[in-house]
């Protein structure tokens, strides 16, 4: 007890609350600044991409001998390149088929004939249909269901916000019904954040998933800078 008659434990608790409030205030100020500056940009209209430019991005081939998870990642990698290059729907199917090798080429030659018989022309095959046929052959539904379950149980835990976001995006492809809208995506990601970060971002008006990741990263840095403790290790901090 000090001269004022207040127990030392109460004073220490008050100081702790003040410190946490200062951290929260600084984090909120920085996060608000990011939200004000980070308006969603307008997407440019693109009419297609030359094959040489597409190949220049180093998209890997697929032989059909890869494991199922690699097959799923190959499709994801392709879609990233399609977005970067601005490929048309027809180019997506064409360019993907050019990258098939070995067993995968043999599979596509047979499947292409069947699709032509069904649709009348290979040009009528959409990228969505190509992905379905590809996944049915190389990335079985049992594996996709497993990935969806992992997404459903995903939380940040001891991952950094950046690591959590990467895992969220990767697994989210297999549970699109859970994040069908931007609002659902934001809510699901925010629910999985560590409580110290979730508490700080909850009072902000966040419009996009990208904004949420950015402000959560700022909140995480403020926490670590102030307490010198990684997120997820508060018990260690309290014991010390």
Tens-place pLDDT, residues 112-142: 999 999 998 888 899 999 999 999 999 988 9
Answer whether residue 45 shows pLDDT above 50: no
> Band of the pLDDT at 228, cuts 50, 70, 90?
low
- Percentage of residues in the chain with pLDDT exceeding 90? 54
Question: How many other C-beta atoms lie within 10 A of the C-beta of residue 128?
Answer: 10
Distances (CA, A) of 90 to 73, 80, 123: 21, 16, 7
Nearest residue to 160 via CA among 207, 216, 227, 203:
216
Contact assessment for residue 115 and residue 125, using Cβ atoms and an 8 Å cutoff: yes
As a whole number of angstroms, the longest Cα–Cα distance in the chain is 92
pLDDT in the model for residue 5? 55
pTM score of the predicted model: 0.63
Interval 205-218: pLDDT, tens: 899 999 999 999 99
Give dist(CA 33, CA 216) in Å, integer: 13
Please, which pLDDT band fits residue 35 given cuts at 50, 70 and 90? low
pLDDT at 124: 85
Read off the pLDDT of each residue in 212-237 and give the average, rounded to a whole number.
Answer: 76
Query: CA separation (Å) from 135 to 112, 121, 125, 217?
Result: 15, 21, 15, 34
Q: Where are the domains of the chain?
A: 51-139, 150-240
Which of helix, strand or coil describes residue 126? coil
Region class of 48: left (phi > 0), else alpha (psi between -120 and 50), else beta: left
pLDDT in tens, 142-152: 998 999 999 99
> If we measure between CA atoms, which residue out of 133, 141, 143, 128 comes closest to residue 100?
133
Judged by average pLDDT, the poorest of 10-24, 162-176, 187-201 is 10-24
**CA proximity to 155, closest of 171, 176, 142:** 171
Backbone dihedral angles phi then psi of residue 100, each to the nearest 5 degrees: -80, 145
Mean pLDDT of 151-179: 94
């Amino acid at each position: 007890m000090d001269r004022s008659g207040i127990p030392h434990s109460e004073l220490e608790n008050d100081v702790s609350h003040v410190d946490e409030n200062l951290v929260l205030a600084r984090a909120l100020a920085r996060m608000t600044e990011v939200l004000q500056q980070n308006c969603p940009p307008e997407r440019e209209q693109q009419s297609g991409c030359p094959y040489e430019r597409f190949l220049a991005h180093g998209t890997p081939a697929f032989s059909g001998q890869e494991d199922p998870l690699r097959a799923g990642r190959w499709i994801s990698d392709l879609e990233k390149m399609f977005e970067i290059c601005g490929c048309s729907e027809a180019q997506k199917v064409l360019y993907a088929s050019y990258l098939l090798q070995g067993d995968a080429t043999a599979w596509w030659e047979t499947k292409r004939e069947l699709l032509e018989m069904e649709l009348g022309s290979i040009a009528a095959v959409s990228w969505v249909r190509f992905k379905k046929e590809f996944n049915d052959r190389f990335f079985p539904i049992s594996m996709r269901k497993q990935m969806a379950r992992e997404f459903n149980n995903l939380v940040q835990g001891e991952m950094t916000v950046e690591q959590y976001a990467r895992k969220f995006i990767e697994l989210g492809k297999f549970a699109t019904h859970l994040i069908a809208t931007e609002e659902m995506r934001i809510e699901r990601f925010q629910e999985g954040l560590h409580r110290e970060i979730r508490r700080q971002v909850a009072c902000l008006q966040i419009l996009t998933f990208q904004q949420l990741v950015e402000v959560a990263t700022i909140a995480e840095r403020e926490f670590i800078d102030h307490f010198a403790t990684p997120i997820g290790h508060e018990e260690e901090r309290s014991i010390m």
